[in-house]
Structure 1
Amino acid sequence: MNIVKRWLTRLPQLRRDSAYLLLYSPLNVLAFCLVVPLLAAGVSTVVIGVGVLLLLVGLLVAGGFAQLARLAAGTVTGTDPLPSSYLRAEPGSGHLRRVLTPLKDPQRWMDLLWVIVSFPVSLLLWVLTVTWLALGLGGVLAPIPEIILELTIPDQAHNVAELLGLEPALLWMIVMYLTVGVIFLGSAPAVLRAMAACQTGLDRLLLTWRAEIGRLETSRAAVQRAEADTRRQLERDIHDGPQQGLVRLGMDLARARRQTANDPHAAAAILEEAMALNQQTLDELRRLSRGIAPPVLVDRGLAAALSEVATRSTVPVTVELSGLPEPTGLPDHVAYAAYFVASEALTNVNKHSGASRAHLTVTVHDARLHLRVEDNGVGGGALSKGHGLAGTAQRLESVGGHLAISSPAGGPTRVEAVIPCAS
């Protein structure tokens, strides 16, 4: 029963994968039949000028089919469509330069390469998909006509079981058919998911080339901004906190040394104050160090670190964790990013929300960590520049994640982060 339940839970994804694989190849065949003749005609006539126009049309047609493939990849995986990024003409360019810009765009030529490379791959996957589904459904349904033939024309019905001398032949045929059907239908979710992943992987490789370069450049800039902001904040915190405490501590110790000979009791009182100030400074340094690398996160993993963050909150926080690997199983950059998102979001809950309760949820599935912090406060939060959440969003961009906030006036507020778990 558990096997059947697991298979039924995978049925929606099986339907998406089947539709994707069955429709993808005809779409790609159409793209191939349109684009390749345009490419061939354009190359052969480029010397007389007409070929440039044909190449331009071919690139635009390939780009249109590529955009459909990006949308389909997002639909089958239940995520956003694959990103696209095309070269645009510079502002003020002439009409002719704007028209010819696609010819200089590397991503347009990658789209053309995708049409050619994806053609045999999608055709092979289409054949395998049809074969797998036909054997699975055929094996389950084949006993019905076999029984009808046996009941209507028993003397003329011949099958493999009779040729092999197996008796009773009808029962053996039903067992054979059902065995084949169960094997192919039972394995269909995993097999079709793998084939769909193969096709979307090829699409991601060829159709997001320029977008990935842009994303990496944006991530690098986000890392630099986040590091600079963190460094400036740490400098301010050290200057305003521990540094001032150490200056006062030095002054107190100097006073105590001067008072030692004349008034030992006053010197002892000053030393008592200095010891208290020293402890305060140590506590301040420990607090600042948590913003760099909290020891509990390094030693015991993300689950323990999030529980500690929730415990420190003055607003009661319920924590729900699901799908997290072993305590230190997540890549370091994923665990750190998730910790800082939760820490910053709960800090905002305590400082600004006016909430009476909050809920922290962390789940890991489909190779992504999903984190959500909700509260019943007054709302009004935003990813404005200069706020803590803006810096958190930059931190997430640097690891390929993204942050979203919903905080209408009057509440509630929901902060959601998605972080890829690939190392």
Structure 2
Amino acid sequence: MATEYGQGYGHGLGHPEHGFPEHGERRHRMPAVLRAPFAARTWREFGYVLLGLPISIMLFVYAVTMVSLGAGLLVTFLGVPVLAAALAGCRGFAALERVRARALLHLDVGDPEPLRTRSGGFMAWVGAVLKSGTSWRSVLYAVLHFPWAVFSFSVAVSLWTYGWALLTYPLWFWVFPVWAGQDGLQLFGDETHSIYLDNPFEITVTALVGLVFTLATPWIIRALTTVDRVMVHGLLGPSQLATRVVELESDRGVVVDTAAADLRRIERDLHDGAQARLVALAMDLGLAKEKLTEDPQAAARMVDEAHGEVKTALQELRDLARGIHPAVLTDRGLDAALSAVASRCTVPVEVQVDLEQRPVPAIEGIAYFTVSELLQNISKHARATWASVDVWRVENRLMLQVVDNGVGGADVSAGSGLAGLAERLDAVDGILVVDSPQGGPTRVTAELPWRTV
């Protein structure tokens, strides 16, 4: 296995849900609640809410008008192209919304599947637009987002405006007695009496209330834009079916490439190993046959050497067969097969397999070769003195964990080794997580789907 050790873990498979820090995460001394009103994220999200209202108004008016017009004209031939144009326009607005979400919300939502037409022509395009689920989801987004945009705009602008206005009231309350002819900001007033915020205590309380509003508004805006994220991702992104089809197509390519690479490896091992040895053996036996009558002792020595070559060739063929699929795995399962692999590792390995039943042969084989490659990696690169292999089941997942006390620094982004292993696991909906800080220890955890025979 060609994984490099000593390169650092900074580009590995760290993920917050696994307890690893995100790339570029910074530590701040000031609490987040105090930073929020000045954070770039807050102003980006506030800008998203501000732009959302005019865009949603245009989108809502366009969608309702055009769809209603197209539906009303369905009694004639014109209704079909008008309805298709309405859906196409909504798809265009949807593309704009995805760009806006990427720029202001940093929401990485993929583009939906393109229109698929079996033949060219205007009517083929009309049919593709009308049959596309993406088109109708765009219309649904136009209808649902309008009332939400009105609500989020009203809440965000009101809270943001009142918060900053009240917070800065001590700086501008003098405007009222100088220019408005009253003591301060009027809190209450009727025909008999009025209450103004004009003394130091009331001004201080007003500023404190504004501070509360100012500190709370960024989190309220964040909650409002969370709904927008859900709507954009759910209605304007690719459908789950389309995403799954793309994943399966990618996984199929990985499986095909892996199978082709394995076949090339087997062919190379046969050509360079057992085949070459058998060719040399045939030549030696031919020479021994010629010398059998002239020099029996020399012929006997050559036959003895050929016998040794036969043993070596048989061992190479056994190793090759074990590399394709070991018989012990088929006959006795993962526990015995992994124990056999561990016995060939250059460091002591403790194997613990806790499985009440065996998974399907395909998953069992992938688990075996995953552990085999990881142990081979430990033998070649880790400079460890011990290692452990644990296999267990958690609900519908088969869990593998290989730990060693080596130098660490395993890098899954090196382009080979662990990266190739991660691609193989991903082809069957598996996951590879690497925790390998400099100086060790290295902990590699793999998840595979649990499927029984």
Q: TM-score, normalised by structure 1?
A: 0.57
The equivalent residue for 1:327 is: none
Verify: 1:283 aligned to 2:343, yes or no: yes
C-alpha distance in 1 between matches for 2:376 and 2:205: 59
1:5-404, aligned counterparts within 5 Å? 7-8=34-35, 11-90=39-118, 92-150=119-177, 152=178, 156-159=182-185, 169-208=198-237, 210-220=238-248, 239-240=321-322, 282-284=342-344, 292=367, 314=381, 359=409, 373=412, 381=415, 389-390=419-420, 392-393=422-423, 395-396=425-426
Cα deviation, residue 98, structure 1: 2.8
- Over the matched positions of the two proteins, sequence identity in percent amounts to 17
Distance (Å, rounded) in 1 between the aligned partners of 2:129 and 2:180: 68
Opposite residue 142 of structure 1, the aligned amino acid is Y
- Higher share of residues assigned helix: 1
1:354: which partner in 2? none
Residue pair 1:226, 1:395 contacting (<8 A) in 2 also = no
**C-alpha separation between the residues in 1 aligned to 2:232 and 2:147?**
13
1:266-325 superposed Cα distances (whole Å, 9 cap, x missing partner): xxxxxxxxxxxx9865524979999738999xxxxxxxxx9x9998772799xxxxxxxx
Over aligned residue pairs, what C-alpha RMSD do you find?
5.2
8 Å CA contact 1:146, 1:170 repeated in 2: no
Superposition deviation, residue 78 in structure 1: 2.3
Give structure 2 stretches of 5+ with no counterpart: 1-27, 267-317, 329-337, 354-365, 385-393, 434-453
Question: Per-residue displacement from partner, 1:189-227 (whole Å, max 9, x unpaired)?
Answer: 22111110111102222223x532111234456667878
Count of residue correspondences: 310
2-structure distance, mates of 1:21, 1:219: 33
Question: Cα distance 1:165–1:105, how it changes in 2: closer, same or farther (>3 A)?
Answer: closer
Unaligned stretches of 5+ in structure 1? 247-277, 297-305, 318-330, 344-356, 361-371, 376-380, 404-423
Distance 1:176 1:60, change over 3 A: same
- Partners in 2 of 1:43 and 1:279 — Cα distance? 69
- Call closer, same or farther: CA 1:41–1:282 in 2, change over 3 Å: closer
Q: 1:132 to 1:199 in 2, by over 3 A?
A: same
Higher relative contact order (CA 8 A, sep 6+): 2
Which stretch shifts more, 388-397 or 35-44? 388-397
The 1:95–1:161 alpha-carbon spacing in structure 2 relative to 1, beyond 3 Å, is closer
Change (3 A) 1:167 1:62: closer
How much has 1:17 moved relative to structure 2?
Answer: 0.8
1:56 shift after superposition: 1.4
Q: State the TM-score, normalizing by the size of structure 2.
A: 0.54
Within 1, Cα distance between the matches of 2:32 and 2:209? 20
* Aligned residue in 1 for 2:12: none
Aligned-partner Cα distance in 2 for 1:242–1:213:
34
- Check the 8 A contact 1:219/1:398 in 2, yes or no: no
Residues 56, 102 of structure 1: 8 Å contact kept: yes
Shift, 1:133, TM fit: 0.8
